[in-house]
């Protein structure tokens, strides 16, 4: 699926107005940036928490494809990810070389 994806990260609970903003962003991407061979843009709103009922009612008549999901914060990365990501020191060294 070749398309543009707009991701918005929110620090709090889902709010109704987030959908209106996302529809604006998706319309702007489709008109200003999207190439002819690409599908229409999709949006993802990531929130700290959400009410499933409020999200369903808000998205029911939305004209653009938008998804809403919750995220969780962790104090430490899982060991599997720690082994796959560079250390903070290596990242600092690489950034200094730019």
For residues 59 and 66, the answer to whether their CB atoms sit within 8 Å is yes
Does residue 45 surpass a pLDDT of 90? yes
CA distance 84 to 78: 10
- Closest C-alpha to 14, from 58, 64, 79: 58
Q: Which pTM was predicted?
A: 0.76
In 3D space, the residue among 34, 97, 94 whose CA is nearest the CA of residue 64 turns out to be 34
Mean pLDDT for 2-27 is: 96
Residues 46-71 have pLDDT tens digits of: 999 999 999 999 999 988 999 999 99
């Amino acid at each position: 699926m070749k398309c543009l994806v707009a991701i918005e990260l929110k620090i709090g609970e889902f709010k109704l107005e987030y959908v209106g903003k996302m529809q604006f962003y998706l319309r702007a991407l489709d008109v200003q940036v999207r190439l002819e061979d690409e599908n229409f843009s999709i949006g993802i709103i990531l929130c700290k928490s959400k009410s499933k009922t409020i999200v369903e009612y808000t998205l029911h008549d939305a004209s653009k494809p938008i998804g809403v999901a919750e995220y969780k914060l962790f104090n430490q990365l899982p060991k599997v990810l720690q082994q796959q990501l560079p250390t903070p020191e290596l990242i600092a060294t690489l950034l200094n070389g730019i």
